[in-house]
Amino acid sequence: MNRTMTALAALSLSLPALAKTPPPPSAPSLEQVADEALTGDTAAWDFVEGITTEVGARQAGTEAEARGRAWAAAWLKARGFRNVAIEPYMMPTWVPGEPGRAEIVSPFPQSLAVAPLGDSASTGPEGITAEVVMFRSVAELQAAPAGSLAGKIAFVSNAMTRTQDGSQYGFAGPTRWVASGIAASKGAVATVIKSVGTDDHRNPHTGGTSFPQGVKPTPAGALSNPDAANLERMFKRAGGKPITMKLVLTPRSLGQTESGNVVGEIVGRNPSLPPVLIACHLDSWWLGTGAVDDGAGCGIIAAAALNVARAGAPLRTVRVLFAGAEETGLWGSKAYSAAHIDEPMAVGLESDFGADRIWRFDSNFRETNPALHRTIAGAVARFGVSSGTETAGGGADIQIVKDQKGAIIDLQQDGTRYFDLHHTPDDTLDKIDPVQLRQNVAVWTQVVGILAAQETAILTGTPVPAAPPVMQGKK
């Protein structure tokens, strides 16, 4: 901490006098507000408790997501954010229909817990009954001869394990992302997968799937992990006899509907400097109430912005972006980038990995602006956060910063529990640990506060070219 304070002191000495509007003497320091957030923040909880209670699930493109936007915009205004706005865009909207049903017709008749995957086609209310063919991985499915799945239901059973960094998502995720498209291209009439998730509840994990160009979408569902395990055992016991499943999934497309992003700002002392963009997403799948994914993230970033303001108006504007429709195709993130691409962002960060503690800080400027990387690393160490050596890639909702090839920070959260809850009915408020939620707010407060005080370009540490005159006192 001493080193941080020294670094911050050195930094402030180097600032031109004009850039400094000293905070009122009564204002606490950034370090103080971050420390207080660790034990005392209530804003993040207030946000996620409020939106999950008053709105609940917020499926992208639906009226529920619209209620979420209105609720979030009102919350930001009530908390004193400026320039609060809803920025609408149109998107293709998919809705899940009736709860999915799967049953084994023979040889071991019983029902299995299933949910449709995003962009799944419908079986129609009467369902599809067909023989099931099992594959243990996407690679095995890929190796199946062309046409070999004609008239069959493909079952891909690829287990996921818990990891702190969530890296198993990269290993298990393709089962959900591409298996139904591959199976359809080989003639399958439908696909079911073992859930991309790590829990042992009878909760299917939904999430988006995809079909390649020219491949007609087929019904696609996820079985809960215990039900997928049951189906695997049936294959062992069937001794080569066909296993027949009846699958009923009734999602439908609503065509183009309106969705939107919600933005708000803590206006900086020099609003002409590129802002610090902090993001989350407001939509959720329909099964839970979108507490962990991603109500918590929106609460964390908004609380951090409020804390930064408590330490006196920051030099740069802090802009919060509550993106819409992340889950079904990053529609909000893409729309935001398209609408604002000519507006340079100083740096982008997103919170979208639940509410458990932050354990590592990564940036994409460790080599180009090592002084700032070290300053941030030093400042968050007291919260138990280590400095990573990976290059930050940024979350899904800061597409604009990726398109601008700008500075990116990842505050890596502990993902050990995340894929127990992800995209399931278990994504509810009670799964959020308030102590860990506050640690997130403390770290975010510290990091965003440092970033918003930067006089120079964050990616390179060089003076901002043709920096416009400081507009003191301008709101």
**What CA–CA distance (Å, rounded) separates 306 from 410?**
20
Q: Smallest distance, Å, CB 128 to Zn ion? A: 30
**What CA–CA distance (Å, rounded) separates 54 from 262?**
17
Beta carbons of 458 and 346 less than 8 angstroms apart: yes
Q: Smallest distance, Å, CB 283 to Zn ion? A: 9
Beta carbons of 86 and 73 less than 8 angstroms apart: yes
Sign of the CA dihedral with 337 first, then 475, 320, and 314 last:
positive
293 near Zn ion (CB under 5 A): yes
Nearer of residues 112 and 355 to Zn ion, judged by Cβ: 355
Q: Smallest distance, Å, CB 280 to Zn ion? A: 8
Nearer of residues 266 and 291 to Zn ion, judged by Cβ: 291
- Cβ contacts of residue 218 below 8 Å, gap of 6+? 120, 121, 180, 183, 184, 188, 189, 190, 191, 211
422-461 footprint of Zn ion as x/- string (CB under 5 A): ----------------------------------------
Q: Which two tokens stand for residue 91?
A: 């998107």
Cβ neighbours, 10 Å, residue 435: 10
Nearer of residues 294 and 410 to Zn ion, judged by Cβ: 294
Q: Smallest distance, Å, CB 25 to Zn ion? A: 41
Nearer of residues 291 and 306 to Zn ion, judged by Cβ: 291
Distance linking the first and last C-alpha atoms of the chain:
32
Q: Smallest distance, Å, CB 324 to Zn ion? A: 12
Nearer of residues 352 and 420 to Zn ion, judged by Cβ: 352
How many positions of this chain bind Zn ion (CB under 5 A)? 3
Q: Smallest distance, Å, CB 94 to Zn ion? A: 17
By DSSP bridging, strand 407-413 and strand 347-350 are parallel
Nearer of residues 199 and 352 to Zn ion, judged by Cβ: 352
Q: Smallest distance, Å, CB 358 to Zn ion? A: 16
- Cβ contacts of residue 270 below 8 Å, gap of 6+? 19, 315, 316, 468, 470, 471
Nearer of residues 183 and 279 to Zn ion, judged by Cβ: 279
Side chain identity at residue 368, one-letter code: T
**What CA–CA distance (Å, rounded) separates 54 from 47?**
10
397 near Zn ion (CB under 5 A): no
Nearer of residues 260 and 312 to Zn ion, judged by Cβ: 260
Nearer of residues 128 and 296 to Zn ion, judged by Cβ: 296
Rg (CA), the chain: 24
- Match 């696609």 to its residue by tokens: 220
Residue range at the interface with Zn ion (CB under 5 A); choices 22-30, 177-185, 220-228, 288-296 = 288-296
Q: Smallest distance, Å, CB 281 to Zn ion? A: 6
Nearer of residues 199 and 293 to Zn ion, judged by Cβ: 293
**What CA–CA distance (Å, rounded) separates 57 from 45?**
17
Nearer of residues 265 and 427 to Zn ion, judged by Cβ: 427
Residue 265 forms beta bridges with which residues? 82, 319
**What CA–CA distance (Å, rounded) separates 60 from 66?**
9
Chain centroid to CA 176: 17
**What CA–CA distance (Å, rounded) separates 406 from 399?**
10
Q: Smallest distance, Å, CB 294 to Zn ion? A: 4
294 near Zn ion (CB under 5 A): yes
Residue range at the interface with Zn ion (CB under 5 A); choices 37-45, 286-294, 337-345, 354-362 = 286-294
- Cβ contacts of residue 465 below 8 Å, gap of 6+? 457
Continuous segment of H or E residues that includes residue 51: helix 43-54
DSSP 393-429: ---TT-HHHHHTT-EEEEEEEP-TTHHHHTTSTT-SG
Q: In the window 343-362, what residues touch Zn ion (CB under 5 A)?
A: 352
Q: Smallest distance, Å, CB 239 to Zn ion? A: 43
234-273 footprint of Zn ion as x/- string (CB under 5 A): ----------------------------------------
Q: In the window 172-191, what residues touch Zn ion (CB under 5 A)?
A: none
Q: Smallest distance, Å, CB 43 to Zn ion? A: 20
Nearer of residues 352 and 455 to Zn ion, judged by Cβ: 352
Q: Smallest distance, Å, CB 429 to Zn ion? A: 16
Residues that bind Zn ion (CB under 5 A): 293-294, 352
